Amino acid sequence: MKLNSGELVTKELVEKYLRITQEARGKATPLAKGEEEINHLQSMLDMCDNYYSDAMHFMEKGDLVRAFGAINYSHAWLDAAVRIGLMDGHGDDRLFTLP
């Protein structure tokens, strides 16, 4: 499958985004305060982790397109948590869309 940039969805491309998301997951730290924010953050992190797991599952099955989609969803949940202030991205605008 070709992407807009002409890149193919390859195992290496998916692995690259798996690494980037894993790096971002390890870097971002919670800022949530109060029960409601903490619950929202936990829900977002659960979605991040579930999509990451899905990406790994699809990789193992050789379904690179679904793996690529899942890892991008995974990272988006994490990025959103940073963007809305439930997590600190520590100024890293390579890994996160900073507020």
Other beta carbons less than 10 A from residue 27's beta carbon: 16
| Chain segment 14-59, per-residue pLDDT in tens | 999 999 999 999 999 999 999 999 999 999 999 999 999 999 999 9
User: By three-state DSSP, how is residue 55 classified?
Assistant: helix
- Give the global pTM: 0.90
| Chain segment 65-95, per-residue pLDDT in tens | 999 999 999 999 999 999 999 999 999 999 9
- The Cα 97–Cα 55 span in angstroms is 22
In this prediction, residue 3 has a pLDDT band, given cuts at 50, 70 and 90, of: low
